Structure 1
Amino acid sequence: MQPMLATPGPLPTGPEWVYEVKWDGMRLLAEVTDGEVRLVTRAGRDVTATFPELTGLTSIAPDVVLDGEVVLLEEGVPSFAALADRVHRPVSRARALARPVTFMVFDVLRLYGVPLLERPMHERRATLERLDTASVPAVALSPLYTDGRALFDATGRRGMEGVLAKRRESDYRPGGRSPAWVKVTHRHTQTCLIGGWRPERSGQGTRIAALLLGVPDGGDLVYAGRVPVGLAGAVVQRVLGELMTDLETDASPFRARPPRAEAAGAHWCEPVVTVEVAHHGWTAEGRLRQPVFRGVRADVDPAEVRREDR
């Protein structure tokens, strides 16, 4: 099963809506069956071994499917960058417990073998709140609010990503973007595919200075601009290097070759690694304005990547 996704848009208001913080982490479906837990990203990747601190989910119910977001908190605020070193490989339980993630649960999709997808959101939430999620230290319920504008302003002051608005009567539709869930963010973000990279000119040239990004369009990869990563920490450099090992190609994967000044010295690669950038909109040429690298999106299938205007 794939999770239900939100549609970008303006903040809806009215008594038929409730609001949650848009957590800046990795979306997961957690399935407990026969005393075993399985954690799956929205791209369908099994990451159970990546988050051993969540094995305690088996104590909540013998059969349940939960939807939520895994986050790493820094001073109470989710840090996508801090999560980067946890999402690409299994880790020992000792290491996980030294700095545990928090699974912010916001929905329940099945309980004791009974599918809940067609139940309205407020009924699913009531069912979720009756579960003993507090018995698992690494699990928390994502709080609900009734004043969306106040929540949006509060998340902006704290430097958080934004707000999710959900219709109380909405059912759960796996695998698609629904107008019943609306995401409202404080900054533009775009998921892109890496089509190439440029090494640093100094030193041994092993560090990555910039990524050349693209967004699929009609089966082609359209160049979306260059984002610097030269100042990223050692963790980000290592993760990018590991992911792009054996992906290098001789030719550019873009429909039209990037400008000479941006492509000079580039190493081309198969566009299968997904990253997220923040930006200030799009130029008339279809390039990202002042993109800032946010991190690798291991939870997003490359086939899902599309241009978003918000």
Structure 2
Amino acid sequence: MLATPGALPDGPEWFFEVVWDGLRTLADVADGRVRLTSRSERDVTVGFPELADLPKIAPDVLLDGEVVLLENGVPSFGALSDRLHGPVSPRLAQLRPITFMVFDVLRLYGVPLLDRPLEERRGTLERLDLAAVPALSLSPTYTDGQALLEATRQRGMAGVVAKRRDAVYRPGAHGADWTKIVHRPTQACVVGGWRERGTGGRIGALLLGVPHGAGLRYVGRVDTGLVGEAMQRALQERLVPAERSPFAEPLSRPDAAGVRWCAPLAVVEVGHSGRDAGGRLRQVVFRGVRDDLDPEHVELDV
């Protein structure tokens, strides 16, 4: 179930949680095995060895939550993105441990809970012994959404999600029962081209799009010249050269100048301050590679 951007609701039928700015993850425990999947159903189990002990919670359980990694005391998707590029050793996991902020339970001991009200599912979740796995934490809930929104703003966090207490769980669906209010919007984008910075092959900017018909709808570009060497390598490994533009419409001469086209395969996430009248992202900031998303799962957030 996915949250829909909107205005902060009010009333006793709602409770509020922090938007954790991490990797949305389903943790499926069955037959003593753990499988972690992203919202595009990509298996990310090898990236989070800290969660190998999830069967201690229950031999059969399906948990929904957000994997986060703290940077300067605040969850950072950019810091977490290094975990999405392949297997992670237990030693590295110990040096920079993640936390799985659990906020829902969808199955327990073989019994599906999707049609139960959120308040009931939350009660079931709170009765589980989450403390048995150190990397687990129960996402707190609050009744004062406005106060939580201001607190997250002051701490530099992403924002707040409001959830109706009586909401059932609809897998993969957007709906007003979960409403997200963020301080700075983010957008997953498919990379359609890049520009070099200097003469050493360093990627200085990415041209961004979202799927639109048979190609990509151009939504702007983002500077990547100052990202670290590990992220530069990650980008270079994922940008497959192409002979022509993957964008559905011709780009303007300034936008297309000096661009090297690539196949629309790599997905990145950016922050922005809104869109202009033409639909382009404004004040775009690079956040990281999204190996957990396939291009066909990218859509324009509204």
TM range (shorter): over 0.9
CA drift at 1:75: 3.3
Alignment partner, residue 301 of structure 1: 294
2:59 counterpart (54, 58, 62): 62
CA drift at 1:297: 2.1
CA drift at 1:116: 0.3
Q: What is the CA–CA distance in structure 1 between the aligned matches of 2:246 and 2:213, rounded to whole Å?
A: 14
Alignment partner, residue 271 of structure 2: 278
Letter in structure 2 aligned against 1:143: P
Q: Does the aligned pair in 2 maintain the 1:194–1:211 contact within 8 Å?
A: yes
Alignment partner, residue 24 of structure 2: 27
Letter in structure 1 aligned against 2:229: A
Matches within 5 A, 1:26-175: 26-175=23-172
Q: Does the aligned pair in 1 maintain the 2:214–2:248 contact within 8 Å?
A: no
Q: What is the CA–CA distance in structure 1 between the aligned matches of 2:59 and 2:287, rounded to whole Å?
A: 37
CA drift at 1:50: 1.1
| TM-align CA RMSD | 1.2
Q: Indicate the larger mover: 279-288 or 187-196.
A: 279-288
Letter in structure 1 aligned against 2:259: A
2:205 counterpart (207, 210, 213): 210
1:135-186 CA distance string (max 9 Å, x none): 1111100000000000000000001000010000000000111210000000
How many percent of aligned residue pairs carry the same amino acid?
Answer: 62
CA drift at 1:301: 3.1
Q: What is the CA–CA distance in structure 1 between the aligned matches of 2:151 and 2:81, rounded to whole Å?
A: 25
Alignment partner, residue 284 of structure 2: 291
Alignment partner, residue 258 of structure 1: 251
2:211 corresponds to 1:222: no
Q: Does the aligned pair in 1 maintain the 2:25–2:66 contact within 8 Å?
A: yes
Q: What is the aligned length? A: 302
SS of equivalent to 1:87: helix
SS of equivalent to 1:191: strand
Q: Indicate the larger mover: 219-228 or 131-140.
A: 219-228
SS of equivalent to 2:81: helix
Q: Does the aligned pair in 2 maintain the 1:27–1:299 contact within 8 Å?
A: no
Letter in structure 2 aligned against 1:216: P
Query: TM-score, normalization: structure 2?
Result: 0.97
Letter in structure 1 aligned against 2:280: R
CA drift at 1:265: 2.0
1:226-276 CA distance string (max 9 Å, x none): 1100011112212111222xx211000001222222322211111122112
Query: TM-score, normalization: structure 1?
Result: 0.94
SS of equivalent to 1:127: helix
SS of equivalent to 1:306: coil
SS of equivalent to 2:62: strand
* Structure 1: 4+ residue segments shifted above 3 A: none
